[in-house]
C-alpha cells in the first residue's frame, strides 16, 4: 500500500474513498449508491396508501431514524446542514377517534428535517410498482394513475410509494444529491436505512408457501396453455419443411426433418430454432399476462414474494414466473438445445423429435417440481451462463488493461481541449460539448430545473452573485451549445403555450440564465484524466 506523499495526494485519496463523493458513476452518469432488499420492501409497505401509525409508532420511527444524526455545529461529524438538530413533527392526517399519521408523513417529516433552513424541493418520478399491483381489483378506477408516479412537492410526499426507482436516476435520493449536495444525499440514505429497518422490526415480513400459489381458474388456464405449447411442435415443423399440418404422419415428418437438417446444416437449424422460439415465446408471454398478478391466491401487498419482485427489492418477474407458472425455453449460446449426431437431444427422446420438450422447452415449474430431463436442460443453461461469465471476465480484463495503458495520458486542458502527453489535440471539446458526465444528469431535464429554480440558483452560486461574464460566450467555448439552447427555448415556448399546465415560468430570461449557469458549472475541470475514465468505463460493465 502506497502512503500519500504530500497534501495534494492525501486530499485526492480522501475524496476517492469518501463514499458521498462517489454517488454518481462516471460510466453513465447514473447513481451507484442506494438501499437494497429489505429496505426497499419495507419502504413500499410504509408508504402505501393504507399504512397508518399511532402517536407512539410515529415518534418511535422518527427517533430511530434521526437520533444518530446531529446536524448542529457542535457535532464532531461532518456538518451537513446548519441546524439545531431538532425534529419538528407534523400534524396527523386523522384526528378522530384518535390521532393517526400516514407512512408518507414520516417521509415528509424527515425531508423537512434534512432540508432545514434551505428552500424546499419538488420531484416527480415514475415508480417501478404500477397502480394495478397496489389497488385491489374491486376498487380500481379506470383513470387512476396516482401510483404510476411518485410526487414530492415542496418537501411534502403527495402520492406514490418509495420503491427501487426512487434510488435510481432522477429518483428521490438522486434529486436530493443534485439539489442539496452529496453529503446531504448520504445523510438521507443513512436516515432512511434506519427508518426502514425499524419499521420492519415492527411490521414483520415472511414469505410463505402460499405466495406462489394460483387460484383454481388460473391453474386450469395454465394447464390448457402448457398443453397447447406441447402440441405446437408438429405444426411448426410441418411449416418448416413446407407441408400442411396433419399432411404427414409423425414418423414421415421426422424423416423429412432429418433430410432438411442434414442437407442444409447450420442455417436450417437456426431457422427452425427461430420459428419454434417465436411461437413458444408468444404463447408463454400471453399466459403470464393472464396469470400475474390477478391469478395469485394472495394479492399484493400480502404476497411477500410478489412484493419483492414488483418493488425491485430482490429478483425479477422472471424468477416469480419460473416458480409459479413455467420455466420456458432454455437456451445455450442463444440457441435451443443442440441435437447429437443421432438426431437426439438426450438419449431418452426419439431421433428428430418434434416436441418442444425435446428442444429444451420446460412447461414445469419449481412449485410442483421438474422432470429429470428438464432439470438436466436447466442445469446445462445455468452452466453455460457461468462459463460465459468466466471467459468474458478474462477477455474484458485484458482489453481494459490495453485501453488504460494507451489512454492514460489523455486529459482535459484549460482551453477545454483533450490532449495527450505531447500536447497533440485529440478532441477540441471533451465529449464534443465539454460537459463532465458526473454533472450532466439534470442538464437537459428542464422540468426539474424549472420546478427547483430557487434552490438550484442558491447552490450553483454558492453564496456569490452570478458574474455576467460567466453567462456569455468566450474565445474557448460558447455559453450554451446550439442544441441545448434550442431545447431550452422550445421548453419555454411550450410552457408559455400550455395554459392548463401545473408548471409556470414567470421569468423566462431567469430560467435561461439558470440553464447557462448549470452548463457552466457542469464543464469538465482542467486536468481530468478522461482517458483512464473512458478505458475503465468500457471494461466496467463486463
Cell numbers for 133, please give them: 399491483
Dihedral sign, Cα of residue 333, residue 335, residue 341, residue 342: positive
> Band of the pLDDT at 85, cuts 50, 70, 90?
low
Tens-place pLDDT, residues 367-415 = 888 889 889 989 988 888 888 888 888 888 888 899 899 988 898 988 8
Tens-place pLDDT, residues 164-193 = 888 888 888 888 888 888 888 888 898 899
Mean of pLDDT values over 483-500: 78
Residue 434 Cα to chain centre, angstroms: 27
Mean of pLDDT values over 41-51: 88
Q: Are 49 and 144 in contact (CB under 8 A)?
A: no
**pLDDT higher than 70, residue 525:** yes
User: Quick one: pLDDT at residue 245?
Assistant: 67
Q: Which of 342, 327, 341 is nearest to 380 (CA)?
A: 327
Q: How far apart are CA 46 and CA 108, in angstroms?
A: 13
**pLDDT higher than 70, residue 501:** no
Cell numbers for 132, please give them: 394495478
- Which segment of 176-185, 211-220, 378-387, 455-464 scores lowest on mean pLDDT? 455-464
- Which segment of 204-218, 251-265, 271-285 scores lowest on mean pLDDT? 251-265
Tens-place pLDDT, residues 405-432 = 998 889 898 888 899 888 888 888 888 8
- Tell me the domains of the chain and their CATH numbers: 21-203 (1.10.274.100), 216-302+313-370 (1.10.132.30), 418-539 (1.10.357)
Tens-place pLDDT, residues 118-171 = 888 888 888 888 655 554 454 444 334 446 788 888 888 888 888 888 888 888
| H or E element in which residue 153 lies | strand 149-153
User: Quick one: pLDDT at residue 137?
Assistant: 52
Give the ranges where 18-171 is alpha helix by DSSP (H): 38-47, 55-66, 103-114, 131-134
pTM: 0.80
Q: How far apart are CA 77 and CA 159, in angstroms?
A: 34
Residues 6+ apart with CB under 8 A from 466: 513, 517
User: Quick one: pLDDT at residue 82?
Assistant: 40
Most confident of the ranges 193-197, 356-360, 393-397, 490-494: 193-197
User: Quick one: pLDDT at residue 27?
Assistant: 85
- Which segment of 235-239, 252-256, 474-478 scores lowest on mean pLDDT? 474-478
> Band of the pLDDT at 500, cuts 50, 70, 90?
low
**pLDDT higher than 60, residue 339:** yes
Mean of pLDDT values over 218-243: 82
Amino acid at each position: 500500500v502506497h502512503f500519500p506523499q504530500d497534501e495534494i495526494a492525501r486530499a485526492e485519496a480522501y475524496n476517492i474513498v469518501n463514499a458521498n463523493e462517489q454517488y454518481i458513476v462516471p460510466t453513465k452518469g447514473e447513481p451507484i449508491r442506494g438501499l437494497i432488499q429489505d429496505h426497499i420492501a419495507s419502504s413500499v409497505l410504509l408508504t402505501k396508501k393504507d399504512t397508518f401509525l399511532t402517536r407512539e409508532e410515529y415518534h418511535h420511527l422518527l427517533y430511530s431514524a434521526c437520533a444518530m444524526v446531529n446536524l448542529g455545529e457542535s457535532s464532531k461529524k461532518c456538518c451537513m446542514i446548519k441546524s439545531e438538530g431538532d425534529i419538528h413533527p407534523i400534524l396527523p392526517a386523522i384526528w378522530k377517534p384518535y390521532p393517526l399519521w400516514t407512512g408518507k408523513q414520516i417521509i415528509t417529516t424527515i425531508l423537512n428535517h434534512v432540508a432545514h433552513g434551505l428552500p424546499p424541493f419538488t420531484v416527480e418520478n415514475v415508480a417501478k410498482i404500477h397502480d394495478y399491483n397496489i389497488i385491489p381489483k374491486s376498487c380500481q378506477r379506470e383513470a387512476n394513475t396516482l401510483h404510476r408516479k411518485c410526487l414530492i412537492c415542496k418537501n411534502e410526499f403527495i402520492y406514490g410509494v418509495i420503491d427501487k426507482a426512487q434510488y435510481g436516476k432522477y429518483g428521490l435520493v438522486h434529486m436530493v444529491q443534485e439539489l442539496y449536495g452529496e453529503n446531504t444525499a448520504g445523510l438521507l440514505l443513512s436516515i432512511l436505512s434506519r427508518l426502514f429497518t425499524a419499521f420492519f422490526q415492527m411490521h414483520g415480513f415472511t414469505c410463505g408457501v402460499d405466495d406462489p400459489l394460483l387460484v383454481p381458474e388460473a391453474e386450469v388456464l395454465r394447464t390448457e396453455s402448457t398443453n397447447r405449447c406441447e402440441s405446437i411442435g408438429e405444426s411448426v415443423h410441418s411449416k418448416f419443411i413446407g407441408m400442411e399440418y396433419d399432411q404427414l404422419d409423425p414418423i414421415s415428418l421426422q424423416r423429412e426433418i432429418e433430410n432438411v437438417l442434414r442437407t442444409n446444416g447450420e442455417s436450417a437449424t437456426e431457422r427452425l430454432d427461430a420459428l419454434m422460439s417465436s411461437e413458444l415465446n408468444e404463447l408463454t408471454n400471453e399466459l403470464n399476462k393472464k396469470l400475474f398478478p390477478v391469478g395469485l391466491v394472495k394479492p399484493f401487498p400480502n404476497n411477500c414474494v410478489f412484493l419483492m419482485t414488483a418493488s425491485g427489492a430482490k429478483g425479477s418477474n422472471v424468477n416469480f414466473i419460473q416458480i409459479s407458472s413455467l420455466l420456458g425455453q432454455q437456451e445455450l449460446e442463444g440457441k435451443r438445445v443442440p441435437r447429437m449426431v443421432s438426431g437426439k437431444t438426450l438419449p431418452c427422446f426419439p431421433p428428430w423429435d418434434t416436441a418442444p420438450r425435446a428442444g429444451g422447452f420446460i412447461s414445469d415449474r419449481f412449485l410442483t417440481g421438474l422432470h429429470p430431463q428438464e432439470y438436466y436442460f436447466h442445469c446445462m443453461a445455468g452452466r453455460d451462463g457461468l462459463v460465459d461469465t468466466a471467459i468474458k471476465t478474462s477477455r474484458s480484463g485484458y482489453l481494459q488493461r490495453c485501453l488504460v495503458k494507451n489512454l492514460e495520458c489523455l486529459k482535459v486542458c484549460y482551453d477545454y481541449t483533450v490532449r495527450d502527453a505531447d500536447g497533440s489535440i485529440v478532441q477540441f471539446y471533451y465529449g464534443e460539448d465539454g460537459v463532465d458526465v458526473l454533472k450532466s444528469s439534470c442538464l437537459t431535464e428542464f422540468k426539474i430545473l424549472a420546478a427547483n429554480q430557487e434552490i438550484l440558483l442558491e447552490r450553483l452560486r454558492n453564496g456569490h452573485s452570478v458574474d455576467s461574464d460567466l453567462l456569455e460566450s468566450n474565445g474557448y467555448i460558447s455559453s450554451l451549445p446550439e442544441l441545448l439552447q434550442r431545447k431550452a427555448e422550445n421548453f419555454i415556448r411550450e410552457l408559455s403555450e400550455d395554459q392548463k399546465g401545473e408548471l409556470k415560468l414567470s421569468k423566462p430570461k431567469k430560467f435561461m440564465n439558470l440553464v447557462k449557469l448549470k452548463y457552466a458549472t457542469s464543464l469538465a475541470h482542467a486536468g481530468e484524466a478522461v482517458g483512464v475514465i473512458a478505458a475503465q468505463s468500457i471494461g466496467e460493465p463486463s
